[in-house]
Structure 1
């Protein structure tokens, strides 16, 4: 099997980039969401309970417990963590020495700390996915940079040290759990749109934050939407087991299918860093040979191929073709695909029942667990074999210790992950080893393993529900309050905000799916807007002058529920059309008994006003100055600015790399290391061919001295 050194580096850079986006996006929203005048002040979540310091930290694992020691309140501590996290992730993205386990451990701890006080605004699956992936990055990251190692990786090995490929296998297992569960829950939910293959006829206009491309995708033919749903089931349910296929081309085919799905989702929807995170996980399906694309290597390999290897390659090709044929036959059979040549369409339908699917899932879930066990066992045996190749008793002892520690951690994390994975099938969940349940229960609050299942049910089948806030000074003339990102104005095109996640706009989408009592934070939002709190206003409109009540807060606020649909192609200047449904939140004003009752019911009354503990500290003043400098920038502009800065630095690094290589004392050795092996004589056998001298051999060292 080809090595994974380059994919691991690509994975670590991708994790650093996603952490950078996540921290920077959160930083821009902290005052309005979690500040003393925010919707859900973070200080409410960290109230000492009279417990010991370490017990308190274990039960609520957040570094924000230490904020008062720095002269900061909880929200200021959260700002500091977000700033440091974004800067540290930026450094890890640009500098390879910073892709160290300690750095990724700090990033994971900082984001976990934020999630502990984030409440409903940080309860998304991609936040859990980032935490789980970030912890895996701690194990994947090398303890020492590659250029400091004494033993260079050989072709075909997973890395210079035997254990280095083990944690990266967990990334592949996480990708499998994410995709397989996301496909299965669509059918176990009994959603009629998924079972009828019509989900995408609603999805593009009813998703949280569509892009302009979603409008065009929505108006594609219905038969193409249904065929796309079939392709989604194929990619999310049938393809993931190929992640563990021993045939390399099958894994690469699975990789490109996943990339295709994620790219299409990015084009048509604003899902912040989620799809980017999934693309980062797909690096576990790649290998060094595919990324390096060494010219001529495969042709030389084929020329020297012996008969047993040629027979094995032929059998692999036949097996590969058989698997492709099986997937094609299963897709046609289970979804009744028929080509209508006259109308040039493809008809599709589900030909199986919910009971049949449940039985199939009950039969298949446990074998997928054993598939993971077998694949992990192969990785462990391969690591053990690489350990036997290590020379020198001291190096062998060191490698044995590291292999034991990393192998134990890998097996433990795999066992922990089995519990949330088994949620897709209750029967399998009950048959798991009790030790796995106990282990998961011990570390569940650290979010080392999570359950996933995206787009479980399709909402808005009769139209997209949308909440529209309205304000008034007299209670008779009402003015709509338009948000920056969510649909409101019918003539405004959907925005493109990825990789930023406007968390208030996202929660407004969830609030519209039910009564306002199911979203207690909405009452706090109404209160803050009636009070005219600028941090919350900036969540609605980053430029306060665009807010209709920026000069004076409204006397009354109310909310209406509408149903939105994409406009038809012939409607000029309109992206949306809508219809009023009902009143979502009654008209209230400050001191209104209805408002006071709701605040008291949800525990949102501010009985203890915040103390200005850290307002005068040097660190608090530095945070305030930084906020003042960055506040004119909209969040998407800030994130895209970071991305452009990273691109500019990368270009400079690429231009300077040849000059630094020429001036390096080891440049000659590096050149020898990558020099291709001499061509073999056509009449010589493979045993007679003389291998090129190793850069670590004595003859190579003598050559370098002469040079």
Structure 2
């Protein structure tokens, strides 16, 4: 390995690039399939209305030039095609500058989507994908060895992801300090997976071991990323194992998958392949990589100060291009799970004996007898926001009324976001929303009833409502 190119990391780069392309593909396909009801021209939070009130410098996007649902769909599907091409290795067929442009294109497209996505795109993994995607532009192809500086920047990013998540836990909820958060987490997390019930039913001493291991992996191991090999590889491997454990226990869109991809870039996979002699990097490429390194170093000041602050922010971007961000997850853990159940009736005048039928969502808990499904890395945005709405109805005020209105209209784009609509022929006359407390059943309750959840009525969130 010379001062610029790390020849031994060409396989790590290859696996990283293909993994990142797969995450891009999931992100673009999700955007294309879900945007119309969320941010389309007739969506709950329309893009044109957003662009009219937000200045360019706060939200740079291609949609400043033109917006229509057809143009947005074209951008999203174009991003999916580019991601598929990168997944197939198209960057290896181009000269170095062409490969860089090919990696730049999905980053520009996804940045344009995120910057008009509003609340629906306010998740930390959106910024993480953009930050990783930006660095990937400068990682090169088979014409050059992977630049040492870019590999270092990827480790710096992985450090911030893990260490930031560890600090926010330690500074946040007391249950992380006394190792009891996992008594509740698997039950109250936003999107349980098919194995979450079983994780919740693990013995409590094992939950304490999980919490302690999490602190070690996120607060101590990240520093080992900057040590010589094979220690750095061991540290990255431990992080990958931890992320795979999290993938099994819940649905966190592509957060865990992308973290695995970043960690791959820190692995020394040279024992798995024959040595390759790659050409020396051209001078212009070295200058570009040096400039990007300086830029990231300068932009890292505020995220670094945030890490050291007692008032640490979680999942925050400091620039509108999302180049260097701060990350974190589950600074607090809920002890009780509440869910909003939306129901409709065909009765023109609701009565106590009216037949109320529930809308079922794809991912979030609804029918107590339905085992949660695995969706990650695909991101069910409406399901996630319904979890936030149950925590704080005020958080859902900008869009919840729009959701109800579209259900009353029988809007096809909105109904496509759901698993089941109980009114296939005509929309209901009235809709209501009720809050229930959900808890996992015990082993004996599961055997007796076949239900994974037990739910108890809490209160009415929205009284029976009809279209005006």
Aligned to 1:503: 381
Matched-pair contact (CA < 8 Å) for 2:230–2:268: no
Whose radius of gyration is greater, 1 or 2?
Answer: 1
Aligned to 1:214: 196
Aligned to 1:705: none
| C-alpha separation in 2, matches of 1:517 and 1:504 | 13
| C-alpha separation in 2, matches of 1:428 and 1:275 | 25
> Which structure features the higher share of helix residues?
1
Q: Does 1:466 align with 2:343?
A: no
Q: Could you report, residue by residue, the CA deviation over 1:437-466 in whole angstroms, capped at 9, with x for unpaired residues?
A: xxx96xx1111011111111101x1x2111
Report the CA distance between 1:8 and its aligned residue: 1.6
Matched-pair contact (CA < 8 Å) for 2:19–2:261: yes
- How big is the alpha-carbon RMSD for the aligned residues of Structure 1 and Structure 2? 2.3
| 1:417 corresponds to which of 300, 304, 307 | 300
Report the CA distance between 1:585 and its aligned residue: 2.0
Q: Could you report, residue by residue, the CA deviation over 1:666-706 in whole angstroms, capped at 9, with x for unpaired residues?
A: xxxxxxxxxxxxxxxxxxxxxxxxxxxxxxxxxxxxxxxxx
| C-alpha separation in 2, matches of 1:284 and 1:267 | 22
CA 195–519 in structure 1, closer or farther in 2 if over 3 Å, else same: farther
Report the CA distance between 1:261 and its aligned residue: 0.7
| 2:423 corresponds to which of 541, 549, 567 | 549
Aligned to 1:446: 321
Q: Could you report, residue by residue, the CA deviation over 1:619-657 in whole angstroms, capped at 9, with x for unpaired residues?
A: xxxxxxxxxxxxxxxxxxxxxxxxxxxxxxxxxxxxxxx
| 2:357 corresponds to which of 475, 479, 486 | 479
| C-alpha separation in 1, matches of 2:220 and 2:305 | 18
Q: Does 1:20 align with 2:25?
A: yes
Aligned to 2:16: 11
Report the CA distance between 1:516 and its aligned residue: 4.3
Matched-pair contact (CA < 8 Å) for 2:82–2:106: yes
| C-alpha separation in 2, matches of 1:59 and 1:509 | 28
Aligned to 1:224: 206
Moved more, 57-66 or 109-118: 57-66
| C-alpha separation in 1, matches of 2:121 and 2:53 | 22
Report the CA distance between 1:74 and its aligned residue: 2.8
Q: Does 1:86 align with 2:80?
A: yes
CA 101–245 in structure 1, closer or farther in 2 if over 3 Å, else same: same
TM-score (norm 1): 0.60
| 2:50 corresponds to which of 41, 45, 49 | 45
| 2:436 corresponds to which of 558, 562, 572 | 562
| C-alpha separation in 2, matches of 1:264 and 1:231 | 12
| C-alpha separation in 2, matches of 1:585 and 1:293 | 64
| 1:586 corresponds to which of 434, 449, 463 | 463
| C-alpha separation in 2, matches of 1:281 and 1:517 | 32
TM-score (norm 2): 0.89
Report the CA distance between 1:513 and its aligned residue: 0.4
Aligned to 1:360: none
| C-alpha separation in 2, matches of 1:235 and 1:174 | 15
Matched-pair contact (CA < 8 Å) for 1:511–1:518: yes
| 2:38 corresponds to which of 33, 42, 50 | 33
For 1:17-416, what aligned pairs fall within 5 Å after superposition? 17-47=22-52, 58-67=57-66, 73-95=67-89, 96-97=92-93, 100-142=99-141, 145-146=142-143, 159=145, 164-189=147-172, 191-246=173-228, 248-292=229-273, 398-399=282-283, 401-416=284-299
Report the CA distance between 1:423 and its aligned residue: 0.8
Matched-pair contact (CA < 8 Å) for 1:16–1:93: yes
Aligned to 1:607: none
| C-alpha separation in 1, matches of 2:360 and 2:299 | 45
CA 217–48 in structure 1, closer or farther in 2 if over 3 Å, else same: closer
| C-alpha separation in 2, matches of 1:548 and 1:499 | 28
CA 13–31 in structure 1, closer or farther in 2 if over 3 Å, else same: same
Matched-pair contact (CA < 8 Å) for 2:385–2:396: no
Report the CA distance between 1:531 and its aligned residue: 1.7
Unpaired runs of at least 5, structure 2: none
Report the CA distance between 1:58 and its aligned residue: 4.7
Moved more, 195-204 or 508-517: 508-517
Structure 1 residue ranges (4+ consecutive) displaced by more than 6 angstroms after TM superposition: none
Matched-pair contact (CA < 8 Å) for 1:37–1:535: no
Q: Could you report, residue by residue, the CA deviation over 1:540-562 in whole angstroms, capped at 9, with x for unpaired residues?
A: 23xxxx41122221222111111
Report the CA distance between 1:481 and its aligned residue: 1.7
| C-alpha separation in 2, matches of 1:11 and 1:39 | 36
Give the secondary-structure state (helix, strand or coil) at the position aligned to 1:559: strand
| C-alpha separation in 2, matches of 1:91 and 1:552 | 42
Report the CA distance between 1:196 and its aligned residue: 2.1
| C-alpha separation in 2, matches of 1:222 and 1:202 | 10
| C-alpha separation in 2, matches of 1:500 and 1:182 | 22
| C-alpha separation in 2, matches of 1:428 and 1:558 | 39
CA 287–582 in structure 1, closer or farther in 2 if over 3 Å, else same: same
Report the CA distance between 1:59 and its aligned residue: 4.7
Aligned to 1:640: none
* Paired residues, number: 443
CA 193–519 in structure 1, closer or farther in 2 if over 3 Å, else same: farther
CA 129–291 in structure 1, closer or farther in 2 if over 3 Å, else same: farther
Q: Could you report, residue by residue, the CA deviation over 1:385-431 in whole angstroms, capped at 9, with x for unpaired residues?
A: xxxx97xxxx9xx53x43333212212212212312321223899xx
Aligned to 2:454: 577
CA 208–291 in structure 1, closer or farther in 2 if over 3 Å, else same: farther
Q: Could you report, residue by residue, the CA deviation over 1:56-113 in whole angstroms, capped at 9, with x for unpaired residues?
A: 755531112333xxxxx43222211110000011001102226811011111110010
| C-alpha separation in 1, matches of 2:113 and 2:135 | 19
Give the secondary-structure state (helix, strand or coil) at the position aligned to 1:512: helix
Aligned to 1:522: 400
Aligned to 1:456: 331
Matched-pair contact (CA < 8 Å) for 1:516–1:585: no
Aligned to 1:426: 309
